[in-house]
């Protein structure tokens, strides 16, 4: 007797599956808590400047505008905003297994600290006097950065994750966020990936398991009520 289920293969695209999941009104949500933080993951030239770097990608052309909007509202409400970007020392001795898998001019290990690829996209409205800025070396924004300590100090209970890639550093950060006990929210329009399948498959998985995947307007509305 079969008690569980066999793997489904029904011909739907990743986007179709995502749309079907999001259309389910019965899906339980984690919801917002009392205080959130915006964690903007890797809005750096290596991943945002599609006119300049092979490693860059774009899903919604307004992605950075949306991240700026919710970041500004969070600041106004006295809630923390964090920006991360990834880079390594010139020798790549700090890149680890993940960073040194390949070694080409476009490889991860060749995003050098202080380089053009490491720099934040100048469309990002970063308030350097208020926002926390971390250089990370692994996918999650939590891994070996001060992020956890910052969230504890600010008594944050909800983490909003934006950035790229949806299937990589956004997903890793969201999973780590939930694992640390935070309500975790991923605004759809603020995330990007190289391929539609990667993007929507991972949004689906996040929605089903690890986060509330919502329209960015929902985050805007919540913050505007508190700003």
CA 51 – CA 201 distance, rounded (Å): 26
Q: Which residues form the catalytic set?
A: 169
CA 133 – CA 145 distance, rounded (Å): 10
Residues in the chain, how many? 227
Residue position matching structure tokens 């969230």: 151
Instruction: Compute the C-alpha angle 62/124/61, nearest 5°.
Output: 15
DSSP 189: G
| Residue 194: both structure tokens together | 């190289």
Q: Is 167 exposed, middle or buried (0-12, 13-18, 19+ CB in 10 A)?
A: buried
Q: For residues 46 and 55, is the Cβ–Cβ distance under 8 A? A: yes
Rounded-to-10 torsion of CA 96, 97, 99, 105: 120
């Amino acid at each position: 007797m079969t008690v569980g289920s066999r793997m489904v293969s029904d011909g739907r695209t990743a986007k179709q599956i995502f749309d079907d999941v999001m259309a389910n009104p019965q899906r339980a949500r984690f919801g917002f808590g009392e205080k959130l933080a915006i964690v903007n993951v890797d809005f750096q030239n290596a991943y945002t400047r599609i006119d300049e770097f092979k490693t860059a990608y774009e899903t919604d052309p307004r992605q950075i505008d949306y991240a700026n909007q919710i970041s500004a509202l969070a600041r106004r409400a006295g809630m923390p905003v964090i920006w991360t970007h990834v880079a390594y020392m010139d020798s790549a001795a700090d890149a680890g297994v993940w960073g040194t898998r390949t070694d080409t001019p476009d490889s991860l290990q060749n995003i050098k600290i202080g380089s053009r690829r490491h720099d934040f996209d100048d469309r990002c409205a970063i308030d350097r006097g208020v926002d926390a800025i971390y250089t990370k070396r692994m996918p999650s924004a939590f891994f070996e950065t001060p992020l956890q300590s910052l969230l504890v100090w600010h008594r944050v209970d909800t983490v909003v994750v934006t950035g790229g890639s949806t299937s990589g550093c956004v997903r890793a950060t969201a999973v780590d966020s939930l694992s640390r006990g935070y309500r975790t929210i991923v605004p759809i329009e603020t995330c990007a990936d190289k391929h539609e399948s990667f993007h929507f498959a991972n949004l689906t998985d996040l929605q089903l398991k690890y986060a509330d995947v919502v329209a960015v307007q929902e985050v805007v509305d919540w913050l505007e009520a508190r700003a």
